[in-house]
Structure formats: C-alpha cells, structure tokens
Amino acid sequence: MLLAAAPVVLLAFALVYGHAHRTLTPQDLIVPGGLLAAFFAAHLAVRRFARGADPLLLPLAALLSGIGLAVLTRLDPSLASAQVLWVLTGVALMTVTLAAVPSLEVLARYKYTIAIAGAVLLLMPAFVGREVNGARLWIRMGGLSFQPAEIAKLLLVLFFAAYLSQNREVLSVSTRRVLGLWVPPARHLGPLVAMWALSLVVLVALKDLGSSMLFFGLFLVMVHAATGRPAYTLAGLALFAAGAAVAYQLFGHVRVRVETWLDPFADVTGRGYQLAQSLFALGAGGMAGVGVGRGFPQRIPFVETDFIFAAFAEELGLLGGAAVVVAYLVLCLRGLATAVRARSDMAALTAVGLVAAFGLQVFVIVGGVTRLIPLTGITLPFVSYGGSSVVSNFILLALLMRAGDPVLAPIAPDAGLTGELGRGALSRRARQVAILLASLFVALVVNLTYVQAVAAPALAAHPANTRSVAEQASRPRGAIVTADDVVLARSVPDGALFAREYPEGAFAAHVVGYSSPRYGRAGIEAAADDALSSRRAFSTLGDMVGAAAGLPVPGNDVILTIDSRIQREAEAALSGRRGAVVAVDPRDGRVLAMASAPDFDPGDVDGGWDALAATAGAPLVDRAAGALYPPGSTYKTLTLAGALAAGVASPDTTYTGPARMEIGNAPVTNYGGKGYGTLDLRTAFARSVNTVFGQLAVELGPERLVRASEAFGVGEGLPLETPSRASLMPDPSEMTVWETAWAGIGQPVGEHPSPPGPQVTVAQMALVAAAVANDGIIMRPHLVAAVRDPAGVELSVTRPREWRRALDPATAATVRELMVGVVERGSGTNARIAGVRVAGKTGTAEVGKAATTHAWFMALAPADEPRVAIAVVLENAGAGGRDAAPAARRVIEAALGAR
C-alpha cells in the first residue's frame, strides 16, 4: 500500500518543482523520498508494535501528508520546510505512542484524570491564549505556538470511550419519563449536559464555532454508538441548537460567520473576502484544474491553514479535490471497520470517537471552504500547515491502530471492559456511523461539483472576481496614452510578473481608472481591457513560436482623446475644491478633458483602498459622469430650447420678473431676491430670472419639458466607454404646476414615486452645450481615439458618429446667440475672453435645505465656429457667474490654444 502511495506523492512534488524551476533534478526528490523513507520505517514499527492493525491506515496518512507537503511547497517553501519537521515528529510520536500504550483498556483506568487534562487543555487558550483570525485557539511559549485543542480532542475521546464503555448498559436502560421521553438516571446524564456546556464555553470563550461543533458532534456520535438511544441524539441536537441560537443573538463573531456564509458577496472586500476568494478559486479550477503553479492561492488569506483545500482544488480541479475527499472517506471507513472488529467496548468506542473527530473535522473545514456550512477556523488533517494538528493526527492514527490490533495479552479482569454482551449491537451502530460519515462526504463532493462545475461561470463573471487581473500580471498590459503622447499607465517588470505603473500619479485618475489584483479595474483600464490585455492571436508563425518559447505577449496601447494640456487646466481649475469639469469637441464628440475632484493616485489603490474609501469627499467617485447634481439655471437652456422649438415663446416675448411670485399656489423666487420688472425672454435668459423661466416652463408644460430634456439624452446613460449615470427627470404625469416651474429653472423639488428632477451629470450638461454648438446634433462622446499595437500600427480608430438630434439648426442658432448674450452682458461676464465670442449659461443650484449652493457654468466657444463645449460644477462654491465662470474660462483658453 505504501508502494502504491509513493508514485502519487513523487508526482505531486515533481509537478511543483517542475513548475517552479522549469526543470527537475534528483535533488528535488530528496524531501518526498525522505518522507516516504520515514513512513517505511514507521511501517516496520507498526509491524513490531501493532501487527494486527489495519494495513491501509498508514498508507492513507502517507498519501495525505505527502500531498499536503507538496501543496505547502507550492504555497510557501519556508512553511513546507517547517512542516517536514512536524511530519517527521508526528511519525516518531506515532511510533512512541504504539510502544507506550500496549492497551487502550489500561488508559481507561485513568479516565477522570484524562478528562480533567482534556478540559484544561481545551479551555486554556481562553485565559492565556492569543486570538488569530477571530478565534482564541493558540498558546505561544517562547517562539513556539500550538493549539491545545488538538490534543484535548484525543483526551476527551479517550474519556468518553472509557465512560461509555463502562456505563453504556446503564445508559441504555430508561428509568423515568421526562417530557414524554424515557431517560436513564440523572447522575448518568451528567456527561451529556457537561459536554453541552463545554461546547458552548468553547463557542463563547474561544470564539471558535468549528471546535464547538466538532467536540459536541463527536460526543453525540459516541453516545449513539454506545447506547443506540435516539433520545440522546435528539436531546443533544436540541441543546446544541438552542445554545447556538442564543450565541448567534448574543455574540457578534458567531453572527458574522453565519451572515458571511449566507451571503459572502455582501461585503466582498471586507468580512466576506476570504470565503469569496475561496469560491472564486474553486470556480476557476473547474473540472480538471488550472494546473499546478498556475493558480492564485495567495489571494486567499490563511490559505496554508484554513483554506488549503481551496488551493488544491483550484489547481487540480474537481477531480483532484474529490479524490482527496474520497481518500479521507476511505480512511474513516477503515477506521470504523476497526471499531467493528475491536475486541472490547473501550477499543470499539475509541475507534468510533477518533474516526468521528477526524471525519467531522474534514467535513467542517471542507464544508466551510466550499460554503456548504458556515466557515470555521480548524485545519484539514494531515494537509494543512500546523504542528499541533500534524502531531495530534499522527497520535490519533496510533490510537486507532492500537484499537484495531487484537494481538495483545489478555485484558486484566479488573478492567471490567470486555463488553461481550451487546457487541453485535455496537457493531451495527458503528456501521450506522459509517453511513452518516459517508453521507456527509457525499454531500461534500456534490457541493464541490456544484461550485466547480455548475456555478463556475457565474463565479467567473462576478464583478468582485478579480482573478483575471492577477492572471494578467504575468503578461504586460498595453499603455494608456493621451492624445498628445503623455503616458498615463504602463506595465513594468516586477520580478517574474509585471506591475502597473501610473507615471503621472493622480492626473486624469478617473478617466484612467486602476487595475488592481484585489479590487479589480475601473475607468479605461476596465473599459478597454480587451485591447490592453495580452492575448496571443496565433495569426502568424511568430505567435506560435512565441507561445512555444513562453514569451510574454505585450498588450496594445490605448490612445485617449484627452489632451493633457486641457486636462491640466481643468484639474487646476478644480484645485482645492470639489467638483468636475468636462470639455468636448462638439464637431466629433471627442472628450478633451474630464476632471473630477478630489482625485486619487491609481498606484495607491492596492495599499490604500480603505483610506481612500474612508476619505471625506469620496475621491473614488467620478463626479464628472458618475454623480448627479441639481443643474440650477444652466437647465434654463433646455427649457428655452424646448419653448422655442414648440413655438411657445420667442426671444422677444415679454414677461414680468418680480422677485417673488406664486406659481401653482407656491412661491417661485429669484436668486438674491432681486426683481426685474417687465423684460423680454432674451434679457431674462441673460440675467437668469427665475420667475420668468418658471412661467415659461408652465406654459411649455411637463410633457413637453420632459420630452425636450430627453431629446438631449436626459434619462439615458451616456455612450461613453466608461460607466456613467443617467440624468433624471420626473414622470410628467406626476409633476405639479409648482414642480414644473422649478424644474424649468433647474431645481428639483418634487416628492413622488418617480425621481425628482432635473438631476444631471456634468458630462450631460457638456453635451447640451455641444448640441447647441453643433446645430442641434450631439455627436457620440468618446474617450478612446485609437488602439495601436506595440509596433505602432493602428488596429482601430474611433470614427465620429451622430448620437442624437436634440434641436433643429435654427433653434440651436437662436439659443447660441442668447448664450452669447449671457457672457457679453448678463450673468456670465466673468467668462469673457478677449477676441473670442463665448456663449455660456450660469447656474446656481440650491442643495437641499442648506444655505449652500453649487456653482455651475456651461459654455461653447468660439460662438461662430465652436471647437469646444464645456460644463463645470463647483460643489458648495457659491454663484455660477462669480465662481464657476472663471474656472471654465481658463479651460476654454487652454482648449483653443491647444488647437
């Protein structure tokens, strides 16, 4: 059997070393060879001290230990080196245990001493332990850490076996009824209640759900094997369920584990990160795995201990993961076969308890990693890193072999543990335990099949799954470059991988976005991923030769429409303030600048995500296209355009413009409380008179006002490469007269099922200006000008395309002239540029019930032959004409100077 296990272990190490070193030498097989030699020596010791033990147990332990060491060598060679020493120590202690314990029945004489020692070890971390990953399981002595619970588990099994073998006949006899159930004398029920209390103490004091489940579960299995009384099992399950329910309500760490199990993706970068990454790894593994060394187990926290099964199943797939589960199942079944043929109750119940502890531990950890049950923090026997676990499992193996070794001296008469009466019944119940464990392991395989075969496509497509980002780090991505050849992002060698570098730091950060192996991608890094990614097309002989040689494939470069000179002025205009600037070329839809403040450095995302997420002002939010604002008086441009196009008014139509007037039985007021008397629409637009445009909006009506807005794209997401929010207007059937008046002024005031409006993005208002500049036609806005291969050959070029026709040319020309009036003699004089006719519109938007206002300015220039259209918002900055217009002017000057 050891000879059968040896090739599997050697192959596992060969695959690991072959991938790591690209070659395989005889020296690479020293560790697995030495490991197998140690097991062959252990085999000789077993033949000496436990000749009648099951011959399959040691080979299975060798197989699992060898696989575990190979996986650890793949994950962390330094940990693997330490694990080798622990495995050798465990093998030695297994031999010592076989030699020192000639009979389990002898240990039964010291059952209460063993029980006290087990309880002390189990509870010791609550007083002198340290907390790791939420659970208080570890004790540190000098430079060594160990888990007392691993040894306590074995001691408690020995105690339970001794107690139950001595009292199982009494426990099987009922003497009184409680709640309709026959139960034995109260003094014999003490251990059941004590174990229930102990498991809850473990749950509360050690914050360890897994150990609590494991200890109580193995006790119930042993009680059932000893007595066969369903009442014990049902009562025990009810007690544990009640205790767990109370713990869920009282203790946050229990609640977190359960909630994370129910929805690990609710907080995928926080408490659900570990489980989510495990599921992503399993999904990536699929049926046959990604291959040894080709996975990304380092993305899973505590992968060497709690989540080593996920690392194994990722690289060897469902077939490898199921094979390991089957190996554990075979070991458990052989252990229970030992219980069936054991010559005494003590030996039989010890075997049942050891197998229950072992099998339930496997089920709990693999079930947690694969999301079959809530996640726990215990280790996978023989495979996970950890000296305590390895040593205790080899001692467990020795005790199990001792239980199955009938070649012993006769049992001492005073042991009182022969248990000849009822041995057939105990054997039947051991078989029932085998069926239970087999069912649990079948559930593991079924669930693993679902995750790795059925759910794998959905897991791969999940937005939080950034494994493709990590996979692409092995190949260089293309560069992101501005229209005037400033490199904003590029890949640089970082050892065997490639790191993403952002030479300009936070410059154009929201356009460029980021490419993070943990947090995914955003901006152009996400939108142009297909172009930037390294994918070999195999279209030439060179592609095939490069693939055979393992040469990295450089990605293609993405050339932006952004002009760095205009972008710098836009960002300078926002310096020290919150807001956004968007400038476009109205003739072809090229986005010349798109700035948002505050900003961030894309290179800091991996290390500073939490700080960025907690920073006031939300620097990760793209205020240019991803934030909605009340547009203030800039929206009067749309109201004016709708009224002119519908024939409701002309520039010469006169209105009264009092400081305050009732419209729809509620007040409409002018900014600053100023009255204007009687004036025409041209002057009212130049001076931005609210009361006039409130009247005009009511005359236009909600249906036509909303329809005019939709003509400019309001209500529809912008066709940019990067994500954008759709600007909003209410359902016209829900709008009151007063709301319609204020909507025409650009101030949302409604309260109804549909959203109050208008609410707009800065990019949307830049396109409104572009429509007025381009005879009513909005060209499709775009950020990507071209894609070039590493040789500089253009693979694709973005051609100008019409997006929508918002106005007829005559109406657009009229609106444009009225916007010129705003700058030359109205509220936008701060946007004047010598020698250039600028057309614009100011806006001062009130923010809720606060006294602060957002400053807006929307413009196009030169008015006769427009080459740039722009929108600016400055949050809580004051008046549009005073604060936003000068900011827009400097960007317009940069745009005109750059052409």
Active site residues: 633
Distance linking the first and last C-alpha atoms of the chain: 80
Rounded to whole angstroms, how far apart are CA atoms 224 and 248? 27
Task: Pull the structure tokens for residue 839.
Answer: 């057309």
Amino acid at 506: A
DSSP-assigned beta bridge partners for residue 853: 846
| CA pair distance 110, 162, nearest whole angstrom | 9
> In this structure, are residues 795 and 848 in contact, taking their beta carbons and an 8 Å threshold?
no
Give me the amino acid identity at 589. G
Contact assessment for residue 758 and residue 725, using Cβ atoms and an 8 Å cutoff: no
Do the Cβ atoms of 842 and 879 come closer than 8 Å? yes
Q: d(Cα 737, Cα 734) in Å, to the nearest integer?
A: 10
Q: What is the DSSP string of 740-788?
A: HHHHHHT-----SSSPPS-BB-HHHHHHHHHHHHTTTEEEPPBSEEEEE
SS3 118: helix
Torsion sign over Cα 626, 276, 135, 239? positive
**Alpha carbons 319 and 289: distance in angstroms, whole number:** 8
Q: What are phi and psi of 579, to 5 degrees?
A: 160, -160
Strands 480-481 and 557-560: parallel
Q: Return d(Cα 13, Cα 63) in angstroms, integer.
A: 12
- Name the DSSP letter for residue 836: B
Q: How many residues in the chain?
A: 899
Q: How far apart are CA 131 and CA 139, in angstroms?
A: 9
Report d(CA 641, CA 657) in Å as an integer: 20
Q: Which of 566, 498, 583 is nearest to 533 (CA)?
A: 498
Burial class (CB in 10 A: 0-12, 13-18, 19+), 860: buried
Local structure of 146: helix, strand or coil: strand
Helices (H) and strands (E) in the chain, counts: 33, 24
- Pairs from 665-672 (Cβ < 8 Å, separation ≥ 24): 665/737, 665/738, 666/738, 668/694, 668/738, 668/741, 668/742, 668/745, 671/633, 671/844, 671/879
How much of the chain is helix, strand and coil, in % rounded to 5? Answer: 55, 15, 30
How many other CB atoms sit within 10 Å of the CB of residue 616? 7
Alpha helices in 185-307 (DSSP H): 190-205, 209-227, 230-250, 252-262, 273-285
Residue 591 has which token pair? 């986005």
Tokens matching residue 467: 């494994």
Angstrom distance (rounded) from CA 749 to CA 758: 9
| H-run or E-run covering 557 | strand 557-560
Q: Report yes or no: 747 and 634 within 8 Å, Cβ to Cβ.
A: no
